[in-house]
Amino acid sequence: MNIRGFSEIELIVVAGLIVIISGLIAGTLYSSFQGSAKSSATNVVSQNGNQALSLISGTIVSSTSVTEIDGTPITDCSVPTPPSGQSISLLQSDGSIIIFACNNPPPITLTKNEGGIVTNLIDDTKVKVEPLSCSFTCRQVDQYSSPIIDIVFTLTQKSSTPSVQDSASSNFSTSVSLRNYNPF
Amino acid sequence: MCSLHYNSSSKPKKLQGGQILLIVVLTMVVALTVGLSIASRIVTELRLSKQNEESQRAFQAAEAGIQRSLTDKATIGLTPFSNNSSFETTFIGGTSANAIIIDDGLPVDQTTGADVWLSVYDESVPANSFTNQRSGSAFVYWGEASQNDCSSGVGATKVPAIEVALIEGPKAAPTIKKYLFDSCPSRTLGTLDLTTTLSPSVTPVAGGPSFVYRGTISFTDGLVMKVIPIYNSSKIGLVGNPALVPPNFPSQGTSIVSTGISGDTVRKVTFIKSYPQLPLEAFPYSIISQ
């Protein structure tokens, strides 16, 4: 009868080992689930930012000139201190003006104003622009070459319970030149 | 009796010894199957995300190449960036040829049309343009075999008609001349210029598009002309026939082909910049009512 069964000590040791091993496995699984939450948060921020950036770049590339930055009219950007601001007005080839702005009251979003119709370039239920992070700068080598616009902004995820795993923040910046620039 | 007792007690020990190996092997099989399938899924996801990253880098590198080529107005050789991407561009500009395909073979939009310069546009001092005016006659090519519907109205399969508004003469006192080509006379009222249907189709520029319709235009001291497809968009080709005086059509603009490379991914961007178009008011033309 003794040979067939297991002793108490054996059972306790095996139970302890199983507890330790399942604890390790549970820890690994838990951190991988946390990782997926973090990666989906990062995904939301990066997709919003990339889409906004490519939309703004596309409009700038096809614009004919920059008319205003931060509401001040601009004739050419080849001045010693490049004009910079939180909104930029671009003249299109059909005569219309498109304004990109990030100077709304908090929570700050990126907006596009086309003929009075204002659309949000980011999903403001999920992400917001970091205050003081957004700027449009216009540089120009001389008054006949194409102006180059530097766009910089930082997006942060909006979440009701900001925990380390759920929060994501990313900087976006690019420089685009006006390929249809007409100095005359 | 004692020996029987001994034999029956030694058998269970041997059975127990063999069982552990079997149990361990089976457990390992289950654990490895689960673990390896998760691992392969993770590796696939990592590879996809790496390809996505490389694709974005290559695209940005190609765009940067276009930028650089536009500024330098030259072909740029392989230029690397610090983020493991590089670009290479080919700049085609200022070339004049006897046979040209408008917009590098992109279809010209109907009713919008495209400008063809018959004189030289001066990029550095645009006010000095309209020099070296060409004279002679040329073939205009248009239409593809798939565009074969002669009924009235617009559509993707309609045969395109072509209107040419040509400005010629001295720069101080130009005159305008108009041509109208339509291979379907039943749908257009008014006098048409002769359209030749080409069968088989003709490819005026090697490697370029093939056309099924041809018309002839002539000009003396041509300045600039506008070619407008009607009923459907169409690719347009032009060939001097016989050769123009001075020879060849002047340059129609610049095109830049930029290839961005990052790791294994290659992205290619083509940028076509044609010379500024004259305002539409310079080309009064009647819109065909459809």
Residue of A nearest to B49 (CA): A43
When CB atoms are compared, the residue of B12, B13, B70 closest to A179 is: B70
The encoded tokens of residue B142 equal 């248009």
Residues of A in contact with B62 (CB under 8 A): none
Whats the size of chain B, residue-wise? 290
Strands B99-101 and B114-117: unpaired
Please state the φ and ψ torsions of residue B268, each to the nearest 5 degrees: -120, 135
Tell me the C-alpha distance between A183 and B124, whole Å: 12
Give the model confidence (pLDDT) of A153-163 as tens digits. Answer: 999 988 766 67
d(CA A87, CA A100): 6
% of chain B with per-residue pLDDT over 70: 90
Q: Which helix (H) or strand (E) holds B5?
A: helix B2-72
Look at A4 and B12 and tell me if their CB atoms are within 8 Å.
yes
- Kindly list the distances between the CA atom of residue A72 and the CA atoms of A96, A131, A175, in Å, as whole numbers in the listed order: 18, 21, 21
What is the rounded distance in angstroms from the CA atom of residue B230 to the CA atom of residue B152? 11
For B140-151, the pLDDT digits (tens) are 999 988 888 888
- φ/ψ of B171, rounded to 5, equals -60, -30
B273 in A contact zone (CB under 8 Å): yes
CA angle B8, B12, B18 (to 5 degrees): 145
Phi and psi of B201, rounded to 5°? -65, 160
Chain B residue with Cα closest to A62: B273
User: Which of B9-13, B91-95, B132-136, B280-284 is least confident?
Assistant: B9-13
Please indicate whether, in this complex, the C-beta atoms of A179 and B276 are within 8 angstroms of each other: no
Whether residue A183 is predicted with pLDDT greater than 90 in this model: the reply is no
Size of interface A-B (CB pairs under 8 A): 14
Facing residue for A177 by CB, picked from B67, B126, B276: B67
Q: Chain B contact for A179, CB < 8 A? A: yes
Our CA-based measurement puts residue B118 at a distance from the nearest CA of chain A, in whole angstroms, of 22
**pLDDT reading at B286 higher than 70:** no
Residues B269, B58: Cα–Cα separation, whole Å: 10
Phi, psi of A133 (to 5 degrees): -95, -15
Q: What's the gap between Cα A83 and its chain centre?
A: 23
DSSP for A19-43?
HHHHHHHHHHHHHHHHHHHHHHHHH
Q: What is the token pair recorded at B88?
A: 């290479």
Judged by a CB distance cut-off of 8 A, whether residue B82 touches chain A is no
Nearest CA of chain A to the CA of B67: how many Å? 7
3-state secondary structure of A143: coil
Per the CB < 8 Å rule, is A182 touching B276? yes
Cross-chain Cβ contact B70/A182 below 8 Å: no
pTM as predicted = 0.69
Chain B residues within an 8 Å CB radius of A4? 12
Q: Do B126 and A3 touch (CB under 8 A)?
A: no
Q: What is the mean pLDDT of residues B257-264?
A: 93
pLDDT at B102 over 60: yes
Q: If you write DSSP's letter for every residue of B211-253 in order, what string do you get?
A: EEEEEEEEEEEEEEEEEEEESS-B-EEEEESS--BSSSBPP-E
Per-residue pLDDT band at B192 (split at 50, 70, 90): confident
Q: Which of B142, B145, B114, B127 is nearest to B224 (CA)?
A: B114
Is the ipTM beyond the 0.85 threshold?
no
Starting at the earlier edge strand, list the strands of the sheet with A111-114.
A72-73, A65-69, A87-91, A97-101, A111-114, A117-120
Give the Å distances, CA to CA, from B274 to A101, A131, B232.
Answer: 31, 42, 22
What's the CA gap between A154 and A98, in Å, rounded? 22
B128 burial class (0-12, 13-18, 19+ CB within 10 angstroms)? exposed
DSSP conformational letter for B145? T
Please give the pLDDT value at position A85. 92
The 10 Å CB-count burial string (b at 16+, else e) for A41-71 is beebbeebbeebbeebbebbbebbbbbbbbe
Put simply, whether A145 touches B (Cβ < 8 Å) is: yes
Pairing of strands A135-139, A127-129: unpaired
Over residues B205-230, mean pLDDT: 91
β-pairing, A111-114 vs A117-120, is antiparallel
Question: Which residue of chain B comes nearest to A144, CA vs CA?
Answer: B124
Nearest CA of chain B to the CA of A164: how many Å?
A: 23
pLDDT for B47-59, tens place per residue? 999 999 999 999 9
Confidence tier at B288 by pLDDT (50, 70, 90): very low
Chain B residues 233-272 with CB within 8 Å of chain A: 271
- Nearest chain A Cα to B124, which residue? A144
The percent of residues in chain A predicted with pLDDT above 90, rounded, is: 47
